[in-house]
Amino acid sequence: MKTVDMIVKTRHLFTMEGDGVGYLENTAMIIDRGRIIDFVPTDAAEDSYRAEEVLALFDHAVLPGLIDAHTHVDICIARGLAQDTDNWMFYGLQPFENAMVQEDIDASVKLGIMEAIKAGTTTIGEFSIGIEPACKFINQSGIRGNITETVRSLEERIYHPGELYEFNEDKGKRSLENNIAMYDKWHDKDHGRIKILFGPQGADFMSRELLLQVREEAKKRNTKIHMHLQQGTRETEQIMMRYGKRPVEWLKEIGYLDESLIGVHLADCTDEEAEFVAESGAGMIVCPGSIGIIDGIVCPSMAFQNAGGYVALGSDQAPGNNCHNVFNEMKLAALFNKISKKDPEVMPAWKVLRMATIEGAKALGMDQEIGSLACGKKADFIAVDLKKLTMQPIFTKPMRNIVPNLVYSARGNEVILSVVDGKIIYKDQILLNVDEEACLAEIESRIDCISERAEKEFEEIAGTNYIFMQEGKL
Ligand SMILES: [Zn+2]
């Protein structure tokens, strides 16, 4: 009899191993020192193993924790303030983002991360300017963090269409130094639960020299580059004006496309360009909800996959997307591709569930540690309550309907348990390492100040949502 940390007994285990969902029935997963060490039939588990924590999850589905590979939780406090407009950043977000002070950002990251954990996310890919508050709260909450500090040298002012961005090299250098400092401070913290990546905001936001310097620093440290890649027509126009080539073509020329790159969105890429990036070995992150809402675009993730690349899902940001919920992204990834291809057979439920787990982990280069439930891997998993109305009824014959229901019906609150590194971080609506009420009070206390500071600019910009307010539509 071996003493271990945890025995997880369940009727429905989705390991996500192999090419499908790796289903195992009536299986116990054995966990010790943060890792999965064995799988045995449930009725034999306690013949071989003894544990203080024995979880009996027979009315549940157990699966790997979900990966939300790209977020900006630092602006989560502006949720719902930037949609339904053709320039979300300027007409939507700008007055509110300009109104935010450090305390607002501190509260904002807590809101986004708490929301993500409660919706089954166990790995979050935060990308922001000044990641210290996110690092701190990720560290405290127990979620796994793949965190990226933004590097950019863009001189901030209003640019007119057709005007080339101006760079401030000192500013760019300082942001890279900050990225390095954050790496030194946080990378591999808590036995590798926190990773720090390098984050050029986009190829259009800095000089060629700085981009190459970022690459060198990332390679030196054997960490990844997490970058918005050909994310819109504005980026394409800037790179065309500066170098006479489209971003993907130019990035290839300077040696930027390889397995150390994780490219986000590819919203302005043709299928051929997406295939080209995939063939380079780079990973892709697609944010269906966010790019659908703010740009009305379905990104070429299917072309990327068809060329052999791996794609992770991201929720991006709450002002545009409105949530940090991978269940939402799974459904939208399936739905948007079916609609755009006019083909209900593309992007089946099992495929998007793989994108939220094992294929997402592959896109990020983390599949040796997470993304599926296998011996030797980190014990990052969630349990979904199958008694919730949205998961009912359960069929097991002649087909199992659990995976379609997870993708097309679940909303996230069916998750009743989240475990990271073998430690429970969320159970029965309670975040174990976080005082949720205190965080909520902190978030609420910031709203009046943001509203007051944003009011004048909101009126001056007079964007779509300002007009909607005047017309009594909000
Ligand atoms: Zn982004």
The distance between the two most distant Cα atoms of the chain, rounded to a whole number of Å, is 72
> Distance between CA 358 and CA 354 in Å, rounded?
5
Cα 11 from chain centre: 29
**Listed residue (412, 428, 430) closest to 121, CA to CA:** 412
Angle between helices 208-220 and 169-186 (to 10 degrees): 10
- How close are the terminal C-alpha atoms of the chain, in Å? 63
Res 87: pLDDT: 85
Provide the 3-class DSSP secondary structure of residue 394.
coil
> Ligand 1 centroid to 291 CA: how many Å?
10
Burial (Cβ within 10 Å: 0-12, 13-18, ≥19) of residue 270: middle
pLDDT tens digits, one per residue of 400-459: 999 999 999 999 999 999 999 999 999 999 999 999 999 999 999 999 999 999 999 999
Q: Is the pLDDT at 157 greater than 90, yes or no?
A: no
pLDDT tens-digit profile of 278-319?
999 999 999 999 999 999 999 999 999 999 999 999 999 999
How many angstroms separate the alpha carbon of residue 442 from the centre of ligand 1? 25
Cα(275) to ligand 1 centroid in Å equals: 21
How large is the average pLDDT for residues 450-470?
Answer: 95
Averaged confidence pLDDT in the chain = 97
Ligand 1 midpoint to CA 29 (Å): 36
- 138: its two tokens: 């990720």
Write down the pLDDT at residue 160: 82
| pLDDT tens digit sequence for 349-385 | 999 999 999 999 999 999 999 999 999 999 999 999 9
CA 152/CA 150 separation, integer angstroms:
7
228 alpha carbon – ligand 1 mean position (Å): 6
In the predicted model, is pLDDT for residue 397 greater than 90? yes
292-414-345-266 Cα dihedral, nearest 10 degrees: 30
Strand runs labelled E in 368-432? 381-385, 415-420, 423-427, 430-431
* Tens digits of residue pLDDT in 2-61: 999 999 999 999 999 999 999 999 999 999 999 999 999 999 999 999 999 999 999 999
Q: How far is the CA of 149 from the centre of ligand 1 (A)?
A: 12
- Please choose, from the candidates 324, 267, 415, 351, the residue with its C-alpha nearest in 3D space to the C-alpha of residue 68: 324
* Rounded average pLDDT over 173-197: 98
Ligand 1 centre from 231 Cα, in Å? 9
Could you tell me if 297 and 290 are in contact, meaning their C-beta atoms sit under 8 angstroms apart? no
85-104 pLDDT, tens per residue?
Answer: 988 888 899 999 999 999 99
DSSP letters along 28-88, please?
A: EEEEETTEEEEEEEGGGHHHHEEEEEEEEEEEEEEEEPEEEEEE-GGGGGGTTSS-SSS-I
Q: Is cis: bond before 393, omega within 30 of 0?
A: yes
Residue 463 confidence class, pLDDT cut points 50, 70, 90: very high
Residue 315 CA to ligand 1 center (angstroms) comes to: 9
- The angle, 0 to 180 degrees and rounded to 10, between the axes of the packed helices 102-118 and 436-461 is 120
pLDDT at res. 39: 98
- Local structure of 308: helix, strand or coil: coil
The kind and range of the H/E element at 228 are strand 225-229
Q: How far is the CA of 96 from the centre of ligand 1 (A)?
A: 17
- The rounded Å distance from CA 147 to ligand 1 centre is 12
Tell which residue, 298, 376, 302, 297, has the closest CA to residue 345: 302
- What percentage of the chain exceeds 90 in pLDDT? 97
CA of residue 290 to ligand 1 center, whole Å: 9
Calculate mean pLDDT across residues 228-239. 96
Distance 214 CA to ligand 1 centre (A): 18
CA of 70 to the centre of ligand 1 (A): 6
Read off the pLDDT band of 107 (50, 70, 90).
very high
Spell out the residues 6+ positions from residue 59 whose beta carbon is closer than 8 angstroms to its own.
11, 385, 386, 387
**pLDDT score for 55:** 98
